[in-house]
């Protein structure tokens, strides 16, 4: 008997179901005892057999809320297929509460209608139960994000009327992505342009998600193509920035703050801090010490030059001086290095001495405030 009932539902045979009901008035009541995954009303809703569904609902209205193996009601199936008359009949006989039923994925009939952009069905469902639009499925996407991801701009426009502009700008999914993030990730140029035409969404264009990324940042993580470049241009023209451009620049520390930080770091730092203050007489005070240190260094360089390690032969017929060929090759290399070092060393200190002793050089050094630590001063005095 149940087999004949399901065959009638597949064909939408109203005469057959009337005959079955005449033979067994409890045939619809025993459906819960069968092994079928859906009721005859599910099949009729899916196939669009309105008259057959009307007979079933008249006899047993509770079947409008019956669930199949995926926890979907007949209204889910009718909404997904865009059968407006069937949807209206199911709402009328099954009450508006069925509009809020969620399937195993957390989707309501309105979600399925929006995914397939059945606008008239959406309007009928919203009128019956507006709150169903604000149900969030298990995926964490709002119905608005779903419209963006499926590129259903007309469905998006219908649904956005349920929220005011301020709410639209702050709606996020489970990752903190705004509608602008979703449009940017999917490079939905048409939807992106539409969203940016809403002032509240445009003003909140630099909102960051839970990962601290703006809509422009998430676009950078997508594969590069022409569509991505166009999306980037739209975002940048709307004033959307990257997250690193939103961080305020740190204020430069005042000189007094620099000094206070340096003074806390120990003796060596305090030595450097002494030369950061505005003491224009610093070079004048150090001139004598610097001259003595430069003279001593130059004299040492000259002395080691005329008396290299290992000795040199000076009593030659042509008056020239040669390194003693009797010393080892390793020492000869050291001697050559010593000559080179003394030449450079002496030249540097000679030039430094001239700079210190001249007015122009003093002014140049004063501007650069060449630091001298206490250790250098003590070494200079010791050399003297």
Rounded distance between C-alpha atoms, residue 152 and residue 146, angstroms? 8
Lowest mean pLDDT among 7-16, 177-186, 349-358: 349-358
What average pLDDT is seen over the chain? 77
Residue ranges of domains in the chain: 2-245, 280-383
- What is the model's pTM? 0.62
Residue range 109-120: mean pLDDT, rounded = 96
User: Is residue 371 scored above 50 in pLDDT?
Assistant: no
pLDDT at 176 over 50: yes
CATH number of 2-245: 1.25.40.20
The pLDDT value recorded for residue 366 is: 47
Could you report the per-residue pLDDT of 145-174, keeping only the tens digit for each?
999 999 999 999 999 999 998 899 999 999
Among 94-98, 338-342, 348-352, the range of highest mean pLDDT: 94-98
**3-7, 20-24, 296-300: segment of lowest average pLDDT:** 296-300
Q: What percent of the chain shows pLDDT beyond 70?
A: 62
- Is residue 310 scored above 90 in pLDDT? no
The whole-number average pLDDT for the span 258-287 is: 53
Q: Does pLDDT of 289 surpass 50?
A: yes
pLDDT at 92: 87
Q: Which residue has the higher pLDDT, 330 or 13?
A: 13
Q: What is the mean pLDDT of residues 223-246?
A: 91
Among 5-9, 267-271, 351-355, top mean pLDDT goes to: 5-9
**What is the distance between the alpha carbons of residues 189 and 207, in angstroms, rounded to a whole number?**
19
pLDDT at position 132 is: 87
Transcribe 28-97 into DSSP letters: TGGGGGS--SS-HHHHHHHHT-HHHHHHHHHH-GGGGG---TTS--HHHHHHHHT-HHHHHHHHHHH-GG
Q: Are 17 and 8 in contact (CB under 8 A)?
A: yes
Tokens of 285: 């005070």
């Amino acid at each position: 008997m149940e087999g004949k009932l399901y065959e009638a539902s597949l064909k939408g045979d109203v005469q057959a179901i009337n005959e079955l009901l005449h033979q067994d008035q409890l045939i619809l009541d025993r459906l819960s005892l069968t092994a079928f995954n859906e009721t005859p009303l599910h099949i009729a809703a899916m196939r669009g057999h309105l008259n057959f569904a009307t007979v079933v609902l008249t006899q047993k209205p509770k079947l409008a809320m019956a669930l199949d193996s995926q926890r979907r009601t007949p209204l889910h199936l009718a909404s997904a297929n865009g059968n407006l008359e069937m949807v209206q009949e199911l709402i009328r006989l099954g009450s508006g509460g069925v509009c809020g039923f969620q399937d195993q994925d957390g989707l309501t009939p309105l979600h399925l209608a929006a995914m397939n952009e059945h606008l008239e069905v959406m309007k009928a469902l919203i009128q019956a139960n507006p709150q169903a639009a604000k149900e969030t499925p298990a995926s964490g996407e709002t119905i608005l994000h779903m419209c963006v991801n499926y590129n259903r701009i007309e469905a998006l426009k219908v649904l956005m009327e349920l929220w005011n502009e301020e709410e639209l700008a702050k709606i996020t999914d489970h990752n903190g992505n705004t509608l602008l993030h979703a449009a940017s990730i999917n490079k939905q140029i048409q939807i992106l342009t539409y969203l940016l035409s809403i002032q509240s969404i445009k003003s909140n264009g630099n909102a960051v998600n839970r990962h601290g990324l703006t809509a422009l940042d998430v676009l950078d993580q997508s594969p590069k193509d022409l569509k991505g470049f166009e999306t980037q241009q739209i975002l940048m023209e709307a004033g959307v920035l990257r997250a690193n451009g939103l961080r305020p620049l740190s204020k430069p520390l005042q000189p007094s703050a620099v000094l206070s930080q340096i003074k806390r770091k120990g003796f060596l730092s305090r030595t450097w801090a002494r030369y950061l203050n505005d003491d224009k007489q610093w070079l004048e005070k150090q001139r004598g010490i610097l001259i003595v240190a430069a003279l001593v260094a130059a004299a040492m360089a000259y002395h080691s030059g005329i008396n290299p390690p290992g000795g040199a032969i000076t009593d030659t017929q042509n008056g020239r001086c040669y390194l003693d060929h009797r010393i080892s090759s390793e020492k000869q290399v050291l001697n050559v290095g010593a000559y080179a070092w003394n030449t450079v060393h002496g030249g540097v200190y000679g030039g430094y001495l001239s700079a210190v002793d001249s007015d122009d050089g003093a002014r140049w050094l004063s501007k650069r405030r060449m630091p001298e630590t206490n250790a250098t001063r003590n070494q200079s005095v010791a050399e003297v």
